[in-house]
A and B are shown apart, each in its own frame.
Chain A
């Protein structure tokens, strides 16, 4: 049996990739022999494509889906693993050494004049993630975009909501990886896990209604939709990301458990797609007209103005 990655691994055709990978998520502990993970035909990829490549390898190895699978890769794919910092991590799995935490610690933020590439493992209960975020990841992004404070504010707002979301829904320490790549005109942020997906967590909210999966994803980006009512969760995170995407004419994709939501330059689409256990979020924002929360939320409303705060 062969899991074939498509020639082009761009955000526009992630659903094709998910279609070809979905059966693996039913093979936990099955140790199926004679499996080939075939990336031999990949000619073009992106940070999202490489992230999903890594997460698929990680999931299938950690859950003993295959017995000694053969991975077929070409020079281009190997160069892309190197570019995005995943070479060591993938090799740890191929060599059957589950030392991912060591590998995660080798992830480095790369910056040059034209690009910043920042991979980050989200290890919830370790100091490592918080320290790396504060000392490497966020300062380098801030420094790269220092000429435009509003760009930094927009990126940090998005990262705050994405990080919170993935940290809160992670089921163990090794499930979420965040990657960001940007230049002066655009930034892409992608995060993927193989934990509890948005569809499963939101199903509890709609327990008395029989929504199909794409409808649940469309509802997930509405304001005040949260799986955790009466807690500090507000259901604002995905709504904020979607609003920023629409106003900047960017792209925002969510893939979870057999469905997707896409906001492509302001046009929203939902549909079914191949199953992915967990959630994938992809955000691509042009930076020429940055938008922040004060541009979105209507704070002239009477209710808002009734809240008196002693700002100094």
Chain B
């Protein structure tokens, strides 16, 4: 299982360019591994935009079951968990209303 450490993007992820880079990193890793870990150890916060850009996109692409099976998220604070859930929820809602 590959571990993707996002330390170098911390302590906050608040740029579209960073979000694109991270999403590409994760997508590349997913194409070579059945399971991956995303480590948020040094990430203190994230713009909701970036949460949707990264995790919302992955959730829609993989579907809920594969997203759960293939991606483990490590060291997320309670706030980051909420931000990531908001990002995913918003992407799902938008997809369903499309």
Asked whether any CB of chain B lies closer than 8 Å to the CB of A164, the reply is: yes
Chain A residues with CB under 8 Å of B34's CB are none
A308: nearest chain-B partner, CB-CB: B68
**Considering the chains assembled together, what is the distance between the CA atoms of A134 and B48 in angstroms?**
19
**Considering the chains assembled together, what is the distance between the CA atoms of A80 and B92 in angstroms?**
49
Chain B residues with CB under 8 Å of A185's CB are none
Residue of A142, A152, A233 touching B49 (CB-CB under 8 A): A233
Asked whether any CB of chain A lies closer than 8 Å to the CB of B24, the reply is: no
Q: Mark B38-71, 1 if CB is under 8 A from A, else 0.
A: 0000001111111011001101000010011101
Q: Mark A134-147, 1 if CB is under 8 A from B, else 0.
A: 10001100100000
Q: Mark A271-312, 1 if CB is under 8 A from B, else 0.
A: 000000000000000000000111001010001101111111
Asked whether any CB of chain A lies closer than 8 Å to the CB of B5, the reply is: no
Asked whether A164 and B85 contact (CB < 8 A) given A134-B10, A142-B44, A308-B68, the answer is no
A168: nearest chain-B partner, CB-CB: B16
Asked whether any CB of chain B lies closer than 8 Å to the CB of A236, the reply is: yes
Asked whether any CB of chain B lies closer than 8 Å to the CB of A159, the reply is: yes
**Considering the chains assembled together, what is the distance between the CA atoms of A310 and B76 in angstroms?**
11
CB distance from A206 to the nearest CB of B (A): 19
Q: Mark B64-96, 1 if CB is under 8 A from A, else 0.
A: 100111011111111101111111111010100
Contact B49 A232 (CB under 8 A): yes
Q: Mark A220-245, 1 if CB is under 8 A from B, else 0.
A: 00000000001011101100100000
Contact A312 B85 (CB under 8 A): no
Contact A309 B73 (CB under 8 A): yes
A230: nearest chain-B partner, CB-CB: B94
Asked whether any CB of chain B lies closer than 8 Å to the CB of A212, the reply is: no
Please give the number of chain B residues whose Cβ is less than 8 angstroms from any Cβ of chain A in the complex: 48
Asked whether A139 and B73 contact (CB < 8 A) given A236-B48, A236-B86, the answer is no
Chain A residues with CB under 8 Å of B48's CB are 161, 234, 236-237, 240
Asked whether A153 and B77 contact (CB < 8 A) given A142-B44, A234-B90, A309-B84, the answer is yes
Q: Number of contacts between A and B (CB, 8 Å)?
A: 123
Contact B56 A312 (CB under 8 A): no
Asked whether any CB of chain B lies closer than 8 Å to the CB of A160, the reply is: yes
Chain B residues with CB under 8 Å of A76's CB are none
Which residues of A from 125 to 172 have beta carbons under 8 Å from B?
130, 133-134, 138-139, 142, 152-153, 156-157, 159-161, 163-164, 167-168
Asked whether any CB of chain A lies closer than 8 Å to the CB of B26, the reply is: no
Q: Mark A67-97, 1 if CB is under 8 A from B, else 0.
A: 0000000000000000000000000000000
Can you offer 12 A-B residue contacts whose CB atoms are under 8 A?
A160-B14, A160-B46, A160-B47, A164-B16, A232-B57, A234-B87, A236-B49, A294-B78, A299-B85, A307-B89, A310-B71, A311-B72
Given contacts A163-B47, A168-B16, list 11 more A-B pairs with CB under 8 A: A130-B15, A133-B12, A138-B12, A159-B12, A159-B14, A167-B14, A232-B16, A232-B19, A236-B86, A292-B79, A307-B88
Chain B residues in the interface with A (C-beta under 8 A) = 10-16, 18-19, 37, 44-50, 52-53, 56-57, 59, 64, 67-69, 71-79, 81-90, 92, 94, 98
The 10 closest A-B pairs by CB, nearest first: A156-B45, A164-B47, A232-B53, A163-B14, A160-B47, A236-B48, A160-B14, A294-B82, A293-B82, A308-B68
Chain A residues in the interface with B (C-beta under 8 A) = 130, 133-134, 138-139, 142, 152-153, 156-157, 159-161, 163-164, 167-168, 230, 232-234, 236-237, 240, 292-294, 297, 299, 303-304, 306-312
